[in-house]
Amino acid sequence: MRNEKCEFTEAEEDTFEPKENPILSHEELNSDENAGPSQPESLEKGRIKIRVRNLSLFYGPTQALKQVYMKILRQSVTALIGPSGCGKSTFLRTLNRMNDTIPGVRIEGRVRIDNIDIYGPQINVVALRRVVGMVFQKSNPFPKSIFDNVAYGPRLHRIKSRITLKEIVESSLKKAALWDEVKDRLHQSAMELSGGQQQRLCIARALAVNPEILLMDEPASALDPISTGKIEELIHSLKENYTIIIVTHNMQQAARISDYTAYFYLGSLVEYGTTKKIFTNPERKETEDYVTGRFG
């Protein structure tokens, strides 16, 4: 349960849930669920937010994801690790259909969020991307004021709300742990902020449209250690209300902030487990070599 859910009433056309046949049957839900590497046992004690089944992705002739099965727990941090080019960013982008915009992409398999097939025909992709927000490695604030950056999404989605835009901006900046640093200069350009502040602003911008899932692709890898620490603290506090999936190259970071870790190699999910298990007692030698830095 979200304890601080903003009281947004979505406009009719901005709903991500398809109108017809949205819920899959019990059989469909559970068929073939456990192919691929074993899923962490403790997942089953919580509520699953995302179910990926037999997912393959091709860029033209190149297969970048190979039959991935993965269940992701809500209100947790799941880290994706693996060497460059193993498909982490590609996988992340399949969760909000960001790959749709790349020409020549073909996707097989299924991704379900709250039991809704996000590749189903009635899905409103714009609404999906509101529910599944994304933060990139390189912070990308718009050349607008701090206020307008955060207000951008709510204005775009014409979110009808019982709270004002000003209140949405304030609460989003607070959730992103940036409010105290910017509250007296909301109308200054976002480009004047430091790199770490810009990244937290991008997180605030993502939060402002009231998402449920946050995808983060190496969100701290361009930042200094102090800014990185702030982002890590922030991620830790956000998981209370959001499902977070983060790509990181930094093993210590994955170990510090995530509950579950998935190790990818050459487009396959090699091993998936609690972060503790992956880092202290992995089942596969390949995983151990990678997390201990013996790989490549």
Ligand X SMILES: Nc1ncnc2c1ncn2[C@@H]1O[C@H](COP(=O)(O)OP(=O)(O)O)[C@@H](O)[C@H]1O
Token digits of residue 162: 């019982």
Q: How far apart are CA 4 and CA 2, in angstroms?
A: 6
User: Quick one: what does residue 11 bind among ligand X, Mg ion, none, with the CB cut-off 5 to 8 Å set by partner type?
Assistant: none
Least distance in Å: CB of 86 to ligand X?
4
Return the C-alpha torsion angle 9, 13, 18, 20, nearest 10. 110
Token digits of residue 40: 């962490």
Q: DSSP letters of 186-247?
A: TTSBGGGS-HHHHHHHHHHHHHTT--SEEEEESTTTTS-HHHHHHHHHHHHHHTTTSEEEEE
Q: What is the H or E stretch that residue 72 is in?
A: strand 62-73
Binding status of residue 94 toward Mg ion by CB under 5 A: no
User: Quick one: what does residue 87 bind among Mg ion, ligand X, none, with the CB cut-off 5 to 8 Å set by partner type?
Assistant: ligand X
Least distance in Å: CB of 167 to ligand X?
37
Least distance in Å: CB of 217 to ligand X?
7
Least distance in Å: CB of 2 to ligand X?
29
Least distance in Å: CB of 270 to Mg ion?
17
213, 50 contact by CB (below 8 A) = yes
Q: Which is nearer to ligand X, 3 or 101 (CB)?
A: 101
Please give the distance of CA 97 from its chain centroid, rounded to a whole number.
12
Touching Mg ion, residues 54-93 (CB under 5 A): 89
User: Quick one: what does residue 84 bind among Mg ion, ligand X, none, with the CB cut-off 5 to 8 Å set by partner type?
Assistant: ligand X
Residues that bind ligand X (CB under 6 A): 59, 62, 64, 82, 84-90, 102
Binding status of residue 99 toward Mg ion by CB under 5 A: no
Residues that bind Mg ion (CB under 5 A): 89
